[in-house]
Amino acid sequence: MKKILLLATACLLQTFSPYTAMAQTGQAPQLDLVPLPVKVENHTGVFTLTANTPLVSAPSLTGITELFATMLRAPSGFQLLHATHNSKGIHFDLSPTYNKTLGEEGYILDITPTRIDISANRPAGLFYAMQSLLQLLPKEVEGHELAAHQRWTIPCVKITDYPRFGWRGLMLDVSRHYFPKEAVKKYIDQLARYKMNVFHWHLTDDQGWRIEIKSLPELTTIGAWRAPRMGAWWTREPRAKGEQVTYGGYYTQEEVKEIVQYAKTRFVTILPEIDVPGHSLAALAAYPQLSCTGGPFDVNVGNVFYAREDNALCPGNEQSFELMDKVITEIAGLFPGPYIHIGGDECYKGFWKKCEKCRKRMADEKLQSAEELQSYFIRRMEKIIISKGKKMIGWDEILEGGLAPEATVMSWRGMQGGLNAAKMKHPVIMTPDSHCYLDLYQGDPAGEPLTYSMLTLTSCYKFEPVPNEITDPSLILGGQGNLWTESVPNYRHAEYMTWPRAFALCEVFWSPKSARNWDSFISRMETQLARFDVAHVNYARSVYDAAIKPVKKDSSQPMRIVLTRELDKLDIYYTFDGTFPDNFSPKYTDTLNIPKGADTFRMITYRNNKPIGKMITTSIKELEKRIEKK
Ligand code: TNX
């Protein structure tokens, strides 16, 4: 009886928790999938993919099978053939009856030594099954060159999988820095590979208008270009009089259509954002008459907004709405997705209060405050958007002064905005800066390029999009990681900021909450990073570094140093004497006193006696400053 019970428990574990199953059975394959699937059953044997493996599907599904064949072409040299009937090979099938458990995006992937069967209710599910299948192939499949002699084996498993949330997004800000079409496509490809389905495209801001609007050419001939600058954002010299505007770029409508099509074949919906009424300096550089103060304006180069320089559209001026109608008409025509994002964040309203037209508008519409005036603006935006057959999304500031009747809220200043919107029965996308802001530091600031505050991989992995207070969880559509790019000057760095934190987020959005396990995640993440090496995708290794926390009991006490790390198995070695630490240097165990006269602190991490993190150096003075800032 005991034996039967044990066996039954083992089977249960194997069925419900792939990670425990791997640990339990020992010889079972290490699957290392990200995001973790709902259910994995391990079988014995492998399927070996060869040049003769047919891809079997209905003709309407060859968009998916072709992606698979294309991916394998370079590394394997195989020209995989499509077939509509065959008893062998990889079969992609839509289920004849709707499988409720799988829903719109779920799939079953059944791998046996002789054939692979993929089934789903919808093509999206087949696409996600294909992503799991690719992750089960050796990492060499990610390569761009022929991997001769590689055996293309796939472990025999049966996976049943479906997402926790329908909205699994990543946002890229292309205004603060411009990323060319090919980079945008690569970003979309990568997010889709990890089963995310929304690409939020932040197309306009104070530092550049990046989408061609044919009826308003100045938005890009003027608004897409600024004076070139490097150096810390918000400390840069403004454009000098007469200075050439040579930094920038924009996407033509032809390019946008190409990107939309590219995303569509990867089951990614693009959410275009036109950020108004604030964050509009690039548009105002082109159309200064739409501001309250009249301009002229330069597109911002990353210089600070002195005494709150005007950067908002004037809601008292009818022409602002005429302009937005033209913009939204073209945007609605370009993007097939159901939503348009109108921003609405961080609008400085100081000039509205002094503006004649704004005051008249407030009197005519009986508006009591600048917040209500912003709300008036957003409501009119919603009318325009609905008139083009789309739905409106805005940042949580659109709650201030009254929410537009049908708006969906993207909560970024923590979760509260989302909670408030849900209380009013509005749909919500959770993207709190505390867990989802990929522009923030992911390691100690002394070892990272300059940015704002801190967001570790650990915090991303701990994100829970549905707060306990929520009465109707179905109003939480899902979540999103946001990459703002003030401090992201090139695409390699965009990848560095995105990965591996977006692995953590995609798992939060896809996998069952109960399956979340940090150690399992880290080991699977490492497998994915090795694949990125082959694929030439950049990523941060900051999770392997230690972080420095200067502490002081009270201001009369000397500063001391606490070191923290995200991974248990790291040893930290340090020096105070200016030399380079290694595993013969002092090893950190507890809070450090700073030796008299020391001016430099250095540290490095090791795992299993091998260096793994980067050498981080900081001056004691810098650490003093950190304490003062607090
Ligand atoms: C806030 S989030 C912003 C962005 C910045 C970001 C920096 C939001 C709606 N507005 O304009 O880039 O913080 O983290």
Q: Tell me the CATH number at 71.
A: 3.30.379.10
Using a 6 Å cutoff on CB, does residue 439 contact ligand 1? yes
Answer whether residue 534 is part of any domain.
no
In a domain, 446, yes or no: no
Q: Is 376 in the pocket of ligand 1 (CB under 6 A)?
A: no
Among 173, 205, 486, 566, the one annotated catalytic: 205
Q: What is the pLDDT of residue 30?
A: 74
Atom of ligand 1 nearest to the CA of 410: 9
In a domain, 516, yes or no: no
Ranges of residues in the chain with a pLDDT under 50 are: 1-26
Looking at the structure, do residues 216 and 347 belong to the same domain, yes or no? yes
Shared domain for 151 and 214, answered yes or no, is no
279 catalytic, yes or no? yes
Q: Is the CB of 78 under 6 A from ligand 1?
A: no
457/531 Cα distance (integer angstroms): 19
Q: CB of 243 closer than 6 A to ligand 1?
A: no
Instruction: State which ligand 1 atom lies nearest to the alpha carbon of 413.
Output: 2
366-393 in b/e form (b: 16+ CB < 10 A) is ebeebbbbbbbbbbbbbebbeeeebebb
Are residues 239 and 137 part of one domain? no
CB neighbourhood size of 588 (10 A):
21
Does 441 sit in the ligand 1 pocket, CB within 6 Å?
A: no
Is residue 537 assigned to a domain?
Answer: no
71/152 same-domain check: yes
The residue range of the domain holding 564 is 545-629
**pLDDT at residue 306, rounded to an integer:** 73
Q: Which of 283, 302, 299 is nearest to 291 (CA)?
A: 283
Question: Ligand 1 centroid vs 413 CA: distance in angstroms?
Answer: 9
- The verdict on residue 114 lying in a domain is yes
Res 19: pLDDT = 40
In whole angstroms, give the CA distance from residue 197 to residue 192.
Answer: 6
In this structure, the answer to whether residues 156 and 184 fall within a common structural domain is no
Using CB atoms within 10 A of its CB, is residue 453 exposed (0-12), middle (13-18) or buried (19+)? exposed
- Centre of ligand 1 to C-alpha 422, Å, is 22
Give kind and range of the element (H or E) at residue 170: strand 167-173
Is the distance from the beta carbon of residue 346 to the nearest atom of ligand 1 less than 6 Å? yes
Burial 284-305 (b: 16+ CB within 10 A, else e): bbbbeebbbeeeebbbbbbbee
Question: What's the whole-model pTM score?
Answer: 0.95
Tokens of 611: 């260096």
Ligand 1 atom, smallest distance to 412 CA: 2
- Which of 203, 311, 345 is the best mutation target for the ligand 1 pocket, counting ligand atoms within 8 Å of the beta carbon and taking the most? 345
Residue 395 in contact with ligand 1 by CB distance below 6 A: yes
Catalytic residue among 177, 279, 341, 435: 279
Q: Could you identify the atom of ligand 1 that is nearest to the CA of residue 279?
A: 11
Question: Can 536 be counted among the known catalytic residues?
Answer: no
Residue 580 domain-assigned (yes or no): yes
Catalytic-labelled residue, pool 117, 218, 258, 346: 346
Q: For residue 424, how far is its CA from the centre of ligand 1 (angstroms)? A: 25
User: Is the minimum distance from the CB of 345 to ligand 1 under 6 angstroms?
Assistant: yes
Where among 161, 178, 205 does a domain terminate? 161
Whether 156 and 174 map to the same domain: the answer is no
Residues 365, 476 share a domain: yes
* pLDDT at site 3: 43
Q: Count of domains in the chain? A: 3
In order of 197, 486, 496, 611, the CA distances from 449 in angstroms are: 29, 11, 11, 21
Task: For residues 342 and 217, state if they share a domain.
Answer: yes
Minimal-distance CA residue to ligand 1 atom 7: 484
Residue 484 CA, ligand 1 centroid: distance in Å: 7
Q: Is the same domain home to 328 and 477?
A: yes
Residues 184 and 234 occupy one common structural domain: yes
Q: Which atom of ligand 1 is nearest to the CA of 439?
A: 14
Within 249-336, strands assigned E span: 269-276
Q: Name the domain boundary from 112, 132, 161.
A: 161
Report the DSSP beta bridge partners of residue 83: 56
520 within a domain of the structure (yes/no): no
What is the 8-class DSSP label of residue 396? G
2-55 pLDDT, tens digit each: 444 444 444 443 444 444 334 334 456 679 999 999 999 999 999 999 999 999
**Which CATH number covers residue 276?**
3.20.20.80
Ligand 1 probe mutation, 279, 484, 486, 487, most atoms within 8 A of CB: 484
Nearest Cα residue to 209 out of 297, 293, 289: 297
Which atom of ligand 1 lies at the shortest distance from residue 345's CA? 9
The pLDDT, as a whole number, for residue 17 is 41
Q: With a 6 A CB cut-off, is 486 part of the ligand 1 pocket? A: yes
Q: Which of 161, 192, 214 finishes a domain?
A: 161
| Residue whose CA is at the smallest distance from ligand 1 atom 4 | 484
Q: Which residue type sits at 110?
A: D
- Does residue 265 sit in the same domain as residue 136? no
- Are 120 and 260 part of one and the same domain? no
Would strands 339-343 and 269-276 be described as parallel, antiparallel, or unpaired?
parallel
* 387 within a domain of the structure (yes/no): yes
